[in-house]
A = this chain, B = another copy of it.
């Protein structure tokens, strides 16, 4: 009696039979306990435990059309950036008993089947991160008819929830900070891909600020590339050839690029921050670990992920609620790489870091 039938998993029928009730009652005990007499409930629960019964999720989903799984599509999954975002998203999801089905669409994401179609049928909602235009994916997502929230892309016009990063304020702070110690004519913005959403906003803020400082931005003050140290280095090297002497200010579209620029400058014997003030973006862990420590605009990635999931869950539970767009705050973290005229703390060591300037051991 106690031994479950070998092989086949326990079904609701097994429980019902074993407990001497109908399957309806068993189901109710699990989903709406208040509808069942306490005595029956505890009795049946015991049987459930004993048999190790687990409702079949597929059967359940077939009826309820819910799986408590959320899909999240990222442009890529490389690096801390997405890892942090995912972490926040996952934590928030778990808090509401949801799980995350993640995919890096990776641009060239096409299996034998139509793209992401497989899981579309299994998830309750979709969080979509589109840092660059992706018509195909976007269409596919819309067609799915799933509740959905968009990350880091301005699609409000389309009437869908979105979670954004407040690029304007963060970038504004950063450029203002640079302008406080560097003339506008000697400030540069080193971006990621030209059509990247964040890069676009940050660049716009940059030029706006220059204009605000009564300077008409030259074309060479804004450059586009990729989110990589390599691009930063390339830009840095080129810059060194063009720019004369005197301090310059660099606002990079992310820390990777900033790091590359920093590297190129140090390698060329420049001192940072004395010869150049550099500010990155995202405040990745890298930033504070670098020497000189990199000033950077902190973006609350984990919170972004969490907010997205939260919005999504809300949309699932209240399909008719008004479209919401949430903007996450950013904040400039000033570190060594950009300290200008301001005096350091009293015990500050001699300013400026120059690669390889040390001699041997003491």
Interface residues of A (CB under 8 A from B): 9, 52, 54-62, 65, 67-69, 76-80, 82-84, 86-87, 90-91, 94-97, 99-104, 106, 109, 111-113, 117-122, 143, 145, 229, 259, 263, 266, 269-271, 274-275, 285-286, 289-291, 349-362
Contacts and interface: CB of A to CB of B under 8 A. Distances in A.
A20 to B, nearest CB: 25
Given A87-B77, A362-B269, A118 B97 contact: yes
A182 to B, nearest CB: 14
Given A86-B77, A103-B100, A291-B355, A360 B94 contact: no
Contacts of A263: 289
A87 B100 contact: no
Contacts of A97: 111-113, 118
Contacts of A120: 54
Nearest to A285: B79
Contacts of A109: 94
B361 A274 contact: yes
Given A77-B86, A100-B101, A121 B69 contact: no
A112 B121 CA distance: 25
A105 to B, nearest CB: 9
Nearest to A55: B121
B90 A104 contact: yes
Nearest to A359: B350
Given A99-B103, A358-B358, A291 B289 contact: no
A286 B271 CA distance: 22
A109 to B, nearest CB: 6
Q: Which of A84, A96, A117, A362 has the most CB of B within 10 A?
A: A362
A186 to B, nearest CB: 15
B103 A90 contact: yes
B82 A274 contact: no
Contacts of A112: 97
A266 to B, nearest CB: 8
Contact of A122 (B69, B269, B289): B69
A305 B289 CA distance: 27
B271 A360 contact: yes
